[in-house]
Structure 1
Amino acid sequence: MLELEFGLADLACTRFAFSPLWEVVASVRVLKNPAEHPLHRPWVEEVLPRLRSSGVDWGMLADLVPVPTRIIPAFICPPPVTTAPHLEVELATMCATPPERVRLELADMEGPRLAPLRDDPVGGLVKLAEVIRDYWAATLAPYWPRIRTLLEGDVLHRARLLAEGGADRLLNDLDPAIRWEKDRLFVRHRHVSAVRGLGGRGLLLVPSVFVWPRLFSVTTPPWQPTLRYSPRGIATLWERRAADVPAALAAVLGHSRAALLGELEAPASTTDLSRRTGMSMGGVSQHLTALRAAGLVTAHRTGRYVLYARSEVAEVLLAGAET
């Protein structure tokens, strides 16, 4: 059991944040052991073959995330200092890790592809950042609008709980393994049994889709104490719904473009969309170009693949049209 001791300043400094870099790290656990993560099976089935054929060498990253996972080096996923950092901001923080800390956190880790980090931490971190960028492009970038929408919805829900019932209501609702009593947060933890004071730094709460069904924590200096937990609605993240075209949206965009947005429940190529909708490849390409120019679709190249995905703006439009 992990016990976190709160003071008045800690309650005042408790906050939420998202972390694209943490999602990278947590998703590696899923791809290395898919059988243990049935909730993410639809994502794994789409991403793993694409990752294999893309030529992305993610071996260094894989060695840094052991399975089964007991400890992940904190330097590869430091708690974010802003609410919604860009991946590049988090990579810059990672690359600024002092060499002695990199070596210390690698002391008990095995893996032949970790030698560059041990021998030259500064250069090794630059190489690791490149690996993460390639992995992100192949596995997470096309899905990030959907993931971020889920995370934002969770934080809005938590904010309402805080407004309605204060810290007691907020913290007791986070996860069945978390319990708030008086000035302490009790966390049922697989590998940590300790009492830790927050020291006036507050607690950073990070909803994470790939953490399910576990909780992950960071409680050692110099990082802000952090809990990573599963957001509400995680079971619906990869659901496939019928690609119905909202009439109101079709009236504005046209039936074909609205239909393409409806089909982009998951990222897809021009070929996939042509096959599903019956439109010609040229027609699909033309409509996607227009949707991309309007900020409703994003394009992501991974090797020989170009995948199209709905933007956050498109997600909001579709949700509004369905209400």
Structure 2
Amino acid sequence: MGSVRFGVDDLAQLRFAVSPLLETVAALRATTDPGGHALHLPWIKRALAVGTERTALVPHLAELAARLPPPRCPLAEIDEELPLLDGPAPLEGSPELAGAVLAWWRVGVRPYWARVRAVLEADLAYRTRQLAEDGIQEVFAHLHPGLRWANDRLTWGGGPAADRLDLDGRGITLTPSVFSARPILLPGRGPTPPCLVYPARGTGTLWERSAEPGDGLARLLGRSRAGLLSRTSTPATTTALAEQTGLTPGAVSQHLTVLRETGLVTGHRYRREVYYRASELGLALLGKEGGRRRTSGSG
């Protein structure tokens, strides 16, 4: 069983972060166990066909996982994290291995990173809002079904015996992951606090193709605005929506302004970006349209 013991100061130093390096290694692990990562099968099929980058790294997977550094900043780039992979002692064949990690990132993860990062950042926006509105106990209660908060400890089953830690005033970083199916604890290094990795909410929608809006909704809103509304059932940024639809960021921004002014989407700022999500009215409109399509398409 894994556990983390909190002091009063630790709760005040709770942070959230996204780690592309962590996701790159977790993605590699997912390719070695497709049955345990059924949600990612559409991506795994592509990843298994990308060449030698993956096969060169798989024998080093356990070593890589043991050397993963906790993220130091909320929205790091992988180039910032790779130099931290070595830790206090160098990896066996460190330069070559770091290069292999970067090569795997480029072919296996980076082509999908905008989509992955949108899910991760949407999770952060949700958790930080939950923290502000409901407090830390509610955040912990909804990170993962196996996590339990009692007194001054956060515990979970299934972790190795080494996953037991007293924070001693260092605080902790909470990091969502789309490729990790269970909580994982990364010990801190020097001034960098430990990190608890947890499965991100919304992962189940990661590889789904967004349904195109029906003719009725498209006639009502225009096809571009209807398409954008259909992609905001989970929070999304202007950049992510532009990549999904092929529209320019400027055009997306203009359409979102109209959707927001008419009460069909809401916006929530997290750090440098605004996340847009369909409002109750927008979801109701999408639900009616979706229900009509399912009814008309049934026997």
Residue 202 of structure 2 is matched in structure 1 by 233
Over 3 Å counting, the alpha-carbon distance change for 1:93 and 1:190 in structure 2 is closer
Number of aligned positions between the proteins? 243
User: Per-residue deviation at 1:309?
Assistant: 9.3
Shift of 1:310: 6.5
Cα gap change, 1:251 to 1:229, in 2 (>3 Å): closer
Distance 1:162 1:143 in 2: 29
Matched, 1:125 2:121: no
Q: Which amino acid aligns with 1:43?
A: W
Does residue 74 in structure 1 map to residue 43 in structure 2? no
**Which residue pairs with 1:3 in the alignment?**
3
1:167: how far off?
1.3
Structure 1 equivalent of residue 180 of structure 2: 211
Instruction: Name stretches of at least 5 consecutive residues in structure 1 with no aligned partner.
Output: 103-116, 119-123, 253-257, 263-291, 298-307
Aligned to 2:24: 24
Q: Aligned Cα RMSD in Å?
A: 3.4
Cα–Cα, structure 1 residues 153 and 220, in superposed 2: closer, same or farther, change >3 Å?
A: closer
TM normalised by structure 2 equals 0.70
Identity %: 33
CA distances 1:176-220 after superposition (whole Å, capped 9, x unpaired) = 1111122211122332266421011111111000002x2211236
Q: Is the 8 A contact 2:71 2:195 kept in 1?
A: no
Give the match's secondary structure for 2:158: coil
**Contact 1:171–1:178 (Cα < 8 Å) also in 2:** yes
> Which whole-Å CA distance do the structure 1 matches of 2:96 and 2:222 have between them?
45
1:163 to 132, 135, 156: 132
The alpha carbon displacement at 1:58 in A equals: 3.5
Report the Cα distance in structure 2 between the residues aligned to 1:27 and 1:136, rounded to whole angstroms.
Answer: 9
Say if 1:181 and 1:251 are closer, same or farther in 2 by CA, change over 3 A: closer
How far apart, CA to CA, are the structure 1 residues paired with 2:185 and 2:248?
29
Q: Is the 8 A contact 2:2 2:159 kept in 1?
A: no
CA deviation vs aligned residue, 1:259-288 (integer Å, no higher than 9, x gap): 9xx9xxxxxxxxxxxxxxxxxxxxxxxxxx
CA shift in 2, pair 1:31/1:8, >3 Å: same
What's 1:63 paired with? 59
Aligned counterparts of 2:245 and 2:99: Cα–Cα separation in 1: 23
The residue correspondences of 1:1-323 to structure 2 (distance < 5 A) are 1-49=1-49, 51-52=50-51, 56-66=52-62, 73-75=65-67, 77-95=68-86, 97-98=87-88, 101-102=89-90, 117-118=91-92, 124-192=93-161, 195-212=164-181, 214-219=182-187, 221-222=189-190, 224-244=193-213, 296-297=242-243, 320=256, 323=282
Structure-1 separation of matches of 2:104 and 2:193: 27
CA contact (8 A) 1:142 1:309 kept: no
Gaps of at least 5 residues in structure 2 are 232-238, 260-277, 283-299
How far, CA to CA, are the matches of 1:5 and 1:184 in structure 2? 4
Q: CA deviation at 1:317?
A: 5.7
Q: Scaled by the length of structure 1, what TM-score is found?
A: 0.65
Amino acid at match of 1:29: R
How much has 1:151 moved relative to structure 2?
A: 0.9
Deviation at 1:249, TM superposition (A): 7.2
Query: Per the alignment, do residues 164 and 150 of structure 1 end up closer, same or farther by CA in structure 2, a change over 3 Å counting?
Result: same
